[in-house]
Amino acid sequence: MTQRQALNFAWRTLAALAVLFSGGAALAWGPADGSQPIAVFWFAGLGSASALGGWLAWNSISSSRLRDQLNLIDTAFRCVDVAVVGIDDRGQIFFANAAAAKLAGAEHAELIGQAYESRFPLRNAADGKPVLLQELQFECGDNVPALRAVLRDAGGNERVLDISCACEDAGRRQVIFLAMEDVSVPHGISLELFWQANHDALTGLVNRRGFEEALRKAIAADDAPDKRHTLLFLDLDRFKLINDSGGHAAGDEFLRQIAAVLRARVRTSDVLARMGGDEFAVLLHACPVEQALRIANAIRMDVSNFRFVWREKVFHVGASIGLVVLSDPAAGAEEAMEQADSACYAAKEAGRDQIRVFHAKAASHQPRADMNIVETIHDAIERNGFRLFRQRIAGLDETTAKSRHFELLLRMVDREGKLVPPMVFIPSAERHNMMQAIDRWVLANALPAIRRECEATPDSLPVFDINLSAESINDSRFPQFVREQIALHGTPPEAICFEITETLAVANLTKAAELIRELKDLGLRFALDDFGAGMCSFAYLKHLPVDYVKIDGAFVRDMFAEPMNREVVSAINNIAHSLGMKTIAEFVETEGTLNRLREMGVDYAQGHAVGRPFYFS
């Protein structure tokens, strides 16, 4: 080898090691044929633990040169604290440096030929599950972040490791090199304290502090456009009902179980965290927005399908999810979290249990848009800018087929004359304590129209369902307001049926029961709406003497696709009948569903298969 060749080889070795060990450099000197020793000098510092990927990129391993390469690599990594292991296609160790031997608590020679998974039994730091070699092999790549794992060393101490993987074909065989960097704890700090500082004690997930640190690292990486990371922010819908009904013990157990549901859906390379309360976040590494949307929707469906059982009560929640693509390196972790929170807020505004992607222009107008809606609601109340529509509730048997039963649906008309659906303005009205005023507007304007309907058919009084909010349920003055309106407009009480959602009734059980009994004495009727949406327990029904139980449309709509939903509908129907209550199936969209409900003995049906809403008043 000429001097020029030797210099080229040396600089090539230096470049390979220096590029990937950021903050450090190495210099190899000597002929490449192995006839003389090669001196390797290590300079300053240790950064990324994936140096072997760069080495192998310049020096592809072939069976004829493997031993010489390994000798050189062993010399290069003898003075490095990072544990480096080479594994063949049978999962056996063929190379290990001194740091790896120390980590395994074995002599260097003892490791060679041993099964990697038996000498290094890793567990995923996020969920505690075993990390398989096949899983590590899947994580090979330049842009794949290090996998964080936990290993109990020879001294019985748990070490937190960041593991990087490099794969290379050696002829007809593939070899894997793993670099395991110990990131356990700073000197003098116990592993227990380190874990507590970065993990949520209740769920075992990463906490806000640990997540924001991972988020900062992901943003700083500034990867290629096709390797952009994505942030999800989740807020659980109706979680408050679990706390209110079952206490904090129920809430804590639910959070532990829902954390397991979320953990099962995310990838091992992702970071799942509990941010506090009922809020969670997921950092999806190297995940395009299309794939991120699929994952987010799968999470949303998993949460929606999950049923939490507590003391014979079954709770059902949903998830509103905000999604942000981390495409701007200049935006910090705090700004990214604000964007994700803004998108999550938009999902709740749109009706909950939805996904919204952050858009800067839409977000900048969001607070003002919310105030515009509030102003429009005030305006609508003052100028009678609401409209009432009615939708038929059809009887399904001979005794109910001729009945005239309707639900009144509220719409708002803006200044431009456009109809605004309730999912747009009701959340804002609830947030700004305006629902009581809306309830009173509905009652004052509906009762005269109901009286006219009754006068047209005095021998067959119709029934009109009117929805009540939590504010009206908890307002001790509301029953007197109802009496005054009935007397003022001369409306038959038997023609009025108030609907209370199941979640509101359970959260305000005492108040709801008092209101029902007081107004039923006047002749009014009551319906329990969306039954099954929050609980499938029947124990409390005896405390709510309602006339109708409306079966939640989520069960009715998917009756044919999900056999369990049919069983739920049947169970609700049978229990309600045993308590002397009539049943109404919601979201009946097809004739097939209508016929099946009729066969099951459900009393009424509501949905597009029966009739669409039309103008009432």
Asked if 326 and 220 count as a contact pair (C-beta separation under 8 A), the reply is no
In the set 162, 200, 270, 278, the catalytic residue is 278
- C-alpha–C-alpha distance, residues 191 and 380, integer Å: 60
Sign of CA dihedral 56, 58, 63, 65: negative
Strand partners, 555: none
DSSP helix/strand/coil, 458: coil
CA R_g for the chain: 33
What is the token pair recorded at 262?
């979320």
**Residue 469 neighbours by CB distance under 10 Å:** 20
Strand partners, 394: 605
Q: Which residues of 283-305 are buried (b: 16+ CB within 10 A; e: fewer)?
A: bbbbbebeebbebbeebbeebee
Establish whether 270 is a catalytic residue: no
Contact residues for 351 (Cβ-Cβ < 8 A; gap 6+): 423, 427
User: Which residue, among 109, 105, 103, has the nearest Cα to 84 in the 3D structure?
Assistant: 103
- C-alpha–C-alpha distance, residues 480 and 518, integer Å: 10
Asked if 539 and 313 count as a contact pair (C-beta separation under 8 A), the reply is yes
**Residue 384 neighbours by CB distance under 10 Å:** 11
User: Which residue, among 445, 448, 435, has the nearest Cα to 478 in the 3D structure?
Assistant: 435
Strand partners, 550: 584
DSSP helix/strand/coil, 306: coil
As annotated, the active-site residues are 278
